[in-house]
Structure 1
Amino acid sequence: MLLQISCTEPYEIETVDFESVLVVESTITNEVKPQVVKLSKTSRLEDPEILIVNNATVTVSASNGDNYSFYWDSESDNYLSEQPFSAAPNTSYILKIVTSDGKRYSSTAVTLPPSVEIGELYAERIVDATDNKDGVQVLVDTEDLTGQAKYYRYEYEETYKIITPNPSPYISEIINYNPSTGSYEVVLTPREPEEICYSTEFSSGISQITTTELNENRIFRFPVRYLSKFDAKLQTRYSILVKQYAQSVEAYTFYKIIDELGSIESLLSQGQPGYVAGNMVSEANPQEKVLGFFEASSMTSKRIYFNYEDFNLEKPPYFVDCDLLLLDYRDNTSLDNDPDEREIIYNYLTYYDYQVVSFAQNFLYTIAKPECTVCTSFSSNVKPSFWED
């Protein structure tokens, strides 16, 4: 009986009843910028591919008579407004879509909620044995004294500085390789070591809160981002830009249901959790299912910086293990019960993009992984315009 209860058999999830449905995701804000509309189609559970919808005609019309056309941007796989614009107060907006097969869709009219500034954005050391947490928690405080804004959604952009532990001062190239003898030459060209890089990542998932369930119209210590003390992003210097969106009750409710159904990272994720009625409809057939929501939202943001030392943390480990390999080119046999180090040098430099950290005239090479030697192998050495050291 114990065996029967404790053993489970793997089960392959398959789509039983599939219906191709248009997926719409768009939030226009009070920021003057190219606004974004994302279109896709639902896909089967066993199909990991995101079915992007292109060649559609996308427009946003405003009650004040303004109309904004969108174009397909192949780089982002999104539709971007041809001209930057911002959603204005006391103006309603309707999203209209005409797909390549002539189907027409439109949203209900949406208006911009009142704008609410982020009160405080701060980070604290948190140790919680119950949740097995020890690290840094980023928190938000917000209060709307007018009492008009009650629904909020949060996103963030995190940027962190990377310092390469073993910068490589060379560009290496293997020439004159002789497969029969295994001999070759390593040409080392001096270069400026790429030591410092900056990476930016964006939040995923749905993070919302409402003050309707609180005693006052105030958000206090709302957790936006948690970083473990072992997170390599804290290795040097870390910055987070938190965006606060004031939402309508309809938008809040829609995303709350989506989050509860599947905690999906985005409406455009490949596995849709099921049909949730939004505010998009087919003009020809109101019974046709359309998944998604078009909303207007007031956005405010704040940025903070911090280092691991600010919280009395030890320096976290690097993103990968950075063992240095000291290899002898003259060792070209394994008959001595020792690996063929000449072959290892060739394979690591040729196939795994290892970089030379140092070189001795007696043909001793010190090499390491690209992530440990050249930070541009996984990041960018362009310093962001907003960065502060």
Structure 2
Amino acid sequence: MKTNILFTALFAILLQYACTEPYEIETVDFESVLVVESTITDEIKPQIVRLSKTSTLENPAIIYESSATVVVNSSVGNNFNFSWNNEMAAYVSDVPFKAEPNVNYTLNIISAEGKRYTSSQVSLPPKVEMDQVYPERITDPTANKDGVQVLVNTEDPTDNAKYFRYEYEETYKIVAPYPSPYFVEIVNYNSSNGTYQLELTPRQPEEICYSTVYSTGIVQTSSTELNENRVFRFPVKYLAKTDAKIQTRYSILVKQFVQSVEAFTFYKIVQELGSVESLLSQSQPGYVAGNMVSEANPNEKVLGFFEVSSITSKRIYFNYEDVGLEKPPYFVDCEVLTLDYNDATIMDDDPDERAALYQLIMYSDYQVLSQNSRLIYRIVQPECSVCTYFSTNVRPDFWED
């Protein structure tokens, strides 16, 4: 398939006449274009189709197309209906299914306005297992990299799979450096003289959490220009040596999608034009024709691609010591403050510590680490004390220490 690239002014032109005067970005000749993003895989699962409309740069929020009729049809007569899921902001198949070999699939959409769109027929590429996913310490001054690179090796002895795209899920363990043993509440506040009491209730410290981050962007490669049909030492994810995600224990699940040449070419052009994080980011610098067309008007622009792909995945774990790194800093700079409740004056050229204590606990959610009989308190930012402030203490089922 020859990909037709139409460079149109869908978005904005930023004119830079001087670095000292700010200029507003304005949208020129804006068109509302349907955006389609869907990869059906050979995993039995609820499959997903994402639909939206392009938005202006002045109002870049994603405009979801949530009232469409979405169906995937197969050449063997199976029709799979999709329904809008508010939580996922996507259309999810009513029943789990998987793409089968030697079957053609077509995505059909009827928009809220009654416009009909259809994709070209796509079929499942061959399945290829990943041989290795592994971390490696790297120092590359030319690329300004000093940290760890997650690499992939894959080989297809059948010579049938040549185009590969990668996604990943990062999960990392968080240990709060200053866990608080108390719930704190301000009671009996007197606004006339600024007095109050801190009521401390013992609790189990919430110091261990787990966070998961999903990949963005387009990560793909091909073996067409190599002597052997293999992917060797392909970099999927780079982590700087100061990345807090590897401070305790880190895991990455790498997913390998075998692509058709048409899908690979589409995403390659999108990446080269804008290096966007997602088709749904709305920040395309131009229009790239995919495999979706309007049935009534073939000249209508439709952005996106309907893809069927085989998928394999591997998960690995490592600690910073495993790759020869020193322990990275925590996610935020933690500063333990010691404040005296009885210091309620500024006459001694010292801040009013009672007022500061009130402000930090009441409005910045600082946590109490300790108090003594003289009402001297040690406090710290919530991110440094209670990891559930920005993460979850639910341990993933797959996690291994």
Measured against the shorter chain, the TM-score band is over 0.9
Matched, 1:75 2:87: yes
Q: 2:367 aligns with which of 355, 362, 365?
A: 355
1:126-165 superposed matches below 5 A = 126-165=138-177
Q: 2:112 aligns with which of 100, 103, 108?
A: 100
Matched, 1:189 2:165: no
Identity, % of aligned positions = 67
Query: Deviation at 1:175?
Result: 1.5
Q: Which residue of 1 aligns with 2:348?
A: 336
CA distance in 2, matches of 1:311, 1:215: 31
CA distance in 2, matches of 1:149, 1:106: 26
SS class of match (1:119): strand
Could you give the per-residue CA deviations for residues 45-84 of structure 1, whole angstroms, max 9, x where no partner exists? 2222111111111111111111111111111111111111
CA distance in 2, matches of 1:242, 1:116: 14
Q: 2:188 aligns with which of 157, 176, 179?
A: 176
Query: Deviation at 1:258?
Result: 0.4
8 Å Cα contact 1:47-1:270 kept in structure 2: no
CA distance in 2, matches of 1:349, 1:60: 54
Q: 2:102 aligns with which of 84, 87, 90?
A: 90
Matched, 1:125 2:137: yes
Could you give the per-residue CA deviations for residues 196-253 of structure 1, whole angstroms, max 9, x where no partner exists? 1011101111011011111211111000011111111111111111000000001000
CA distance in 2, matches of 1:10, 1:58: 44
SS class of match (2:356): helix
8 Å Cα contact 2:135-2:323 kept in structure 1: no
SS class of match (1:253): helix
CA distance in 2, matches of 1:263, 1:78: 23
Q: Which residue of 2 aligns with 1:293?
A: 305
Length, aligned pairs only? 385
SS class of match (1:260): helix
8 Å Cα contact 1:26-1:36 kept in structure 2: yes
CA distance in 1, matches of 2:67, 2:366: 43
CA distance in 2, matches of 1:180, 1:274: 62
Q: Which residue of 2 aligns with 1:309?
A: 321
SS class of match (1:292): strand
1:2-17 superposed matches below 5 A = 9-17=21-29
SS class of match (1:19): coil
Task: With the length of structure 2 as denominator, give the TM-score of the two structures.
Answer: 0.94
Query: Deviation at 1:27?
Result: 0.3
Task: With the length of structure 1 as denominator, give the TM-score of the two structures.
Answer: 0.97
Q: Which residue of 2 aligns with 1:387?
A: 399
Query: Deviation at 1:270?
Result: 3.0
Query: Deviation at 1:7?
Result: 5.4
CA distance in 1, matches of 2:115, 2:143: 49
Could you give the per-residue CA deviations for residues 260-315 of structure 1, whole angstroms, max 9, x where no partner exists? 11000000003222211011111111111110100000010001111111122111
Q: Which residue of 2 aligns with 1:375?
A: 387
SS class of match (1:268): helix
Q: Which residue of 2 aligns with 1:22?
A: 34
Which amino acid in structure 2 is aligned with residue 274 of structure 1? G
Which amino acid in structure 2 is aligned with residue 237 of structure 1? R
Summarize the Cα distance change of 1:299–1:13 in structure 2 as closer, same or farther, 3 Å threshold: same
8 Å Cα contact 1:37-1:80 kept in structure 2: yes
Matched, 1:50 2:35: no
SS class of match (1:72): strand
Q: Which residue of 2 aligns with 1:65?
A: 77
CA distance in 1, matches of 2:244, 2:194: 39
SS class of match (1:27): strand
CA distance in 2, matches of 1:83, 1:343: 59
Could you give the per-residue CA deviations for residues 324-355 of structure 1, whole angstroms, max 9, x where no partner exists? 01111111122221111111111111111111
More deviation, 288-297/270-279: 270-279
SS class of match (2:335): coil
Query: Deviation at 1:33?
Result: 0.9
Query: Deviation at 1:6?
Result: 9.2
Which amino acid in structure 1 is aligned with residue 328 of structure 2? P
More deviation, 141-150/359-368: 359-368
CA distance in 2, matches of 1:73, 1:379: 24
CA distance in 1, matches of 2:161, 2:295: 32
Query: Deviation at 1:12?
Result: 2.6
Q: Which residue of 1 aligns with 2:213?
A: 201
Q: 2:252 aligns with which of 240, 254, 257?
A: 240
1:31-46 superposed matches below 5 A = 31-46=43-58
Q: Which residue of 2 aligns with 1:230?
A: 242
Query: Deviation at 1:167?
Result: 0.2
Which amino acid in structure 1 is aligned with residue 59 of structure 2? D
Matched, 1:116 2:133: no
8 Å Cα contact 1:43-1:272 kept in structure 2: no
8 Å Cα contact 2:73-2:107 kept in structure 1: yes
CA distance in 1, matches of 2:65, 2:381: 39
CA distance in 2, matches of 1:233, 1:362: 39
Query: Deviation at 1:15?
Result: 1.0
**4+ residue stretches of structure 1 with deviation over 3 A?**
5-11
CA distance in 2, matches of 1:148, 1:212: 11
Query: Deviation at 1:8?
Result: 6.0
Q: Which residue of 2 aligns with 1:253?
A: 265
CA distance in 2, matches of 1:207, 1:139: 12
Q: Which 5+ residue runs of structure 2 have no aligned equivalent? A: 1-16
Which amino acid in structure 2 is aligned with residue 295 of structure 1? E
